[in-house]
Amino acid sequence: EPEVTQTPSHQVTQMGQEVILRCVPISNHLYFYWYRQILGQKVEFLVSFYNNEISEKSEIFDDQFSVERPDGSNFTLKIRSTKLEDSAMYFCASRADSWNNSPLHFGNGTRLTVT
């Protein structure tokens, strides 16, 4: 069964550094998402992406964050200058279509640790 893949599985970075989290969504899916989960807390929406542009973003997704789909297969999340509070599990997800019953398929996540 096709799946969403994320790399790396674990990233350690120093505060102030830029990080890029990479995702390959399921190939025929149209909608793409980034979520994050701070350890022990709920899963929080960051951004959704459709038709090569952001369709919705949360208040968490400030100017330090950006997303890109550079080549039609990869979907990346960039954090420009990481802060300690950016430490979390970051999940990429994709969805096939706009039908309401269409679930999000999540990748295994990238654990980001900012020191």
Partner 1 sequence: AQKITQTQPGMFVQEKEAVTLDCTYDTSDQSYGLFWYKQPSSGEMIFLIYQGSYDEQNATEGRYSLNFQKARKSANLVISASQLGDSAMYFCAMRGPGGETSGSRLTFGEGTQLTVNP
Structure token pair of residue 103: 């679930």
By the 10 Å C-beta count (0-12 exposed, 13-18 middle, 19+ buried), 25 is classed as buried
Residue 105 binding partner 1, by CB under 8 A: yes
- Pairwise CA distance, residues 111 & 88, whole Å: 6
For residue 2, the minimal CB distance to partner 1 (Å) is 13
Size of the site for partner 1 (CB under 8 A): 28
Residue 11 binding partner 1, by CB under 8 A: no
What residues line the site for partner 1 (CB under 8 A)? 31, 33, 41-45, 48-51, 55-56, 58, 89, 91, 93, 98, 100-101, 103-109, 111
